Amino acid sequence: MGRQQLYLVLVEVTSLPLLVAVAVLVVSGYILRYPGYAPLLSYGLLSYGDAAYLHAAPLIRISFTLLALLHSLGGLGLLITRCVKGLRARLVLEVLSAAGLTALFTPPLLLDAVALLSP
């Protein structure tokens, strides 16, 4: 399996779980912002307390961040392998994108990991 196929599989595998995680975080965030609309925003499934719990749960945030990192790595890698012709330029851009995304997503992951492990 080549890198392009690997990137495509990574994007495909992470897309639906990432969509679910984004939906949970967005809906719970809107419920926290507009508590009077909780039944409308969640179709009656979430109360304000449920939304606060879900939105603040470190495990959900860690899952979202990891999925976003993997999806971004796959998407950028796929874009680079499809659009950049030179092998050396492609490799440099793949390494730079992986390093940049890792630097971007590591601090929130560490903060949530500490929150998850704290009593």
Query: pLDDT tens, 5-35?
Result: 999 999 999 999 999 999 999 999 999 999 9
pTM over 0.75: yes
Question: 93-110 pLDDT, tens per residue?
Answer: 999 999 999 999 999 999
Domains of the chain in sequence order: 3-117 (1.20.1300)
pLDDT at 17: 98
CB 74 within 8 A of CB 54: no
- With a pLDDT cut of 70, the percent of the chain lying above it is 100
